[in-house]
């Protein structure tokens, strides 16, 4: 069977086609259209802009995805979709034109991220998939974005159980305990800023571009002769929660206090910001793994692209003799492949949802 999945929970427009045959997964195509350039000047994702960009990008991304999968065939699959896309004028026009130019593709199931994420962004993917479902008469599987971040690597790399996952991105920082593929429980999460958000905000203080994580990582690789020290918030606290806003404030004060804002000082700041965030993430994840007698640790979300974090996770996993599942970089950041894989399993459990009932769930939790 073939699943077409759409992911628009934040600032990336992602669509992919997954083929599943005899339990084997093959990605026929995977397109990610990034909005980084649009959001750069705001130092973070600006929801109204994200909504507009998704409207502009969804149809071109769909066309590219289907073409790459060899599923784009000239013809007509027009349907009455005005009621579904009545609030998305740009998207409606583009979708109508697309449907009047191409046949229904050979896919069997549709999937979409319904939450958590930015409400205006989520709605774009949801209403778009509803229009396609109506035109092509297909079912839709709703998918939880956070779950997809750890579930897809868990399935694709055949994780042993129990497993502890850390999902660290621009919007979320969560520790999840999985007894098996069907039972997941959140152990803890951030009480304020997410780890990626902390990278982004502190990078902005240092005058670096958005997204801040890769910029801080780049700067931290340089040599500095200066020493800066920041706290490791909640690292020793007796729970699995996180807090990063205090670190951000400490960085801001240090930056304001220092008269000499030389490259050397900025490098030292970047190094210590990265050390502080990755220390807390590593410490808490492996403590959870130990306490819960986990056999595997899984890392997911945009921050898992950080080499220093990967290094620390590898070292700890080796010394504790735990399986470590590190996603490839295209699986770390947002993508629709993880949505398709998760959707396949939801579908196998019998989880189809009538498309009319689908709606955005910005605060969706993992059950
Ligand atoms: O998962 P993701 O692509 O989108 C969200 O769902 O938020 O994560 C984006 C976040 C941003 O905060 C970005 O700064 C961070 O991941 N990030 C990194 C790195 N690459 C991306 N943080 C640290 N080091 C990196 N190399
Ligand atoms: Zn994400």
The DSSP element (H or E) to which 332 belongs, if any, is helix 329-332
Q: Which pLDDT tens digit goes with each residue over 181-218?
A: 999 999 999 999 999 999 999 999 999 999 999 999 99
Tell which one of 35, 171, 220, 302 to mutate to probe ligand 1, the residue whose CB is within 8 A of the most ligand atoms. 302
Q: Are residues 257 and 194 in the same domain?
A: yes
Q: Which pLDDT tens digit goes with each residue over 171-180?
A: 999 999 999 9
Q: Whose CA is nearest to atom 21 of ligand 1?
A: 302
- The answer to whether residue 14 scores a pLDDT higher than 70 is yes
> Which residues lie with the beta carbon below 6 Å from any ligand 1 atom?
10, 169-171, 196-197, 199-200, 211-214, 217, 301-303, 305-306, 333-334
Q: What pLDDT does 194 receive?
A: 97
What is the distance of C-alpha 149 from the center of its chain?
6
Q: Are residues 141 and 34 in the same domain?
A: yes
Q: What pLDDT does 89 receive?
A: 95
The rounded Å distance from CA 169 to ligand 2 centre is 6
Q: Are residues 56 and 136 in the same domain?
A: yes
| Closest of 182, 174, 155 to residue 367, by C-alpha | 182
Q: Whose CA is nearest to atom 7 of ligand 1?
A: 170
Q: What pLDDT does 39 receive?
A: 81
- Structural domain that includes position 108: 2-149+332-357
Q: What pLDDT does 45 receive?
A: 81
Does 237 reside within a domain? yes
| Closest of 281, 12, 243, 296 to residue 145, by C-alpha | 12
| Closest of 312, 327, 321, 253 to residue 280, by C-alpha | 312
- The answer to whether residue 44 scores a pLDDT higher than 90 is no
Q: Are residues 186 and 270 in the same domain?
A: yes
Per-chain mean pLDDT for the chain: 95
Q: Which pLDDT tens digit goes with each residue over 225-259?
A: 888 999 999 999 999 999 999 999 999 999 999 99
Q: Are residues 313 and 352 in the same domain?
A: no
Dist. CA 7–CA 354, nearest whole Å: 19
Dist. CA 27–CA 15, nearest whole Å: 11
Dist. CA 34–CA 77, nearest whole Å: 28
Cβ burial, residue 15 (10 Å; 0-12/13-18/19+): buried
Q: Are residues 129 and 209 in the same domain?
A: no
Q: 0.85 cut: is pTM over it?
A: yes
69: confidence class by pLDDT, cuts 50, 70, 90: very high
Q: Whose CA is nearest to atom 23 of ligand 1?
A: 213
351: confidence class by pLDDT, cuts 50, 70, 90: low
CATH of the domain at 192: 3.30.420.40
Determine the atom of ligand 1 nearest the C-alpha atom of 203: 14
Tell which one of 210, 213, 244, 274 to mutate to probe ligand 1, the residue whose CB is within 8 A of the most ligand atoms. 213
- Domain count within the chain: 2
Q: Are residues 145 and 162 in the same domain?
A: no
């Amino acid at each position: 069977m073939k699943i077409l999945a759409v992911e628009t929970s934040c600032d990336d427009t992602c669509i992919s086609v997954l083929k599943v045959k005899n339990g084997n997964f093959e990605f026929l195509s995977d397109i990610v259209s990034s909005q980084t350039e649009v959001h750069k000047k705001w130092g973070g994702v600006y929801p109204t802009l994200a909504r507009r960009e998704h409207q502009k990008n969804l149809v071109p991304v769909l066309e590219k995805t289907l073409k790459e999968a060899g599923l784009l065939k000239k013809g007509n699959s027009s349907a009455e979709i005005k009621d579904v896309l009545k609030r998305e004028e740009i998207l409606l026009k583009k979708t109508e034109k697309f449907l009047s130019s191409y046949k229904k593709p050979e896919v069997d199931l549709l999937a979409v991220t319904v939450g958590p994420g930015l409400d205006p962004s989520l709605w774009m993917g949801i209403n778009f998939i509803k229009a396609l479902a109506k035109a092509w008469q297909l079912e839709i599987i709703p998918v939880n974005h956070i779950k997809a971040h750890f579930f897809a690597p868990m399935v694709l790399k055949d994780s042993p159980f129990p497993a502890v996952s850390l999902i660290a991105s621009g919007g979320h920082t969560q520790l999840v305990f999985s007894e098996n593929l069907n039972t997941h429980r959140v152990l803890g999460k951030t009480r304020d800023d997410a780890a990626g958000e902390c990278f982004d905000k502190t990078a902005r203080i240092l005058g670096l571009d958005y997204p801040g994580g890769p910029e801080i990582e780049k700067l931290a690789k340089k040599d500095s002769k200066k020493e800066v020290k920041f706290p490791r918030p909640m690292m020793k606290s007796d729970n699995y929660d996180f807090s990063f806003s205090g670190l951000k404030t400490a960085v801001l004060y240090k930056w304001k206090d220092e008269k000499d804002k030389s490259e050397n000082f900025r490098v030292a700041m970047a190094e210590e910001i990265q050390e502080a965030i990755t220390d807390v993430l590593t410490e808490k994840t492996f403590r959870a793994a130990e306490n819960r007698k986990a056999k595997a640790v899984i890392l997911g979300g945009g921050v898992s692209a950080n080499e220093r974090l990967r290094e620390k996770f590898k070292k700890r996993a080796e010394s504790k003799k735990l399986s470590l599942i590190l996603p490839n970089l295209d699986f770390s950041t947002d993508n629709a492949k993880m949505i398709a894989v998760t959707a396949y399993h939801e579908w196998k459990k019998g989880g189809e949802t009538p498309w009319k009932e689908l709606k955005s769930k910005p605060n969706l939790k993992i059950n």
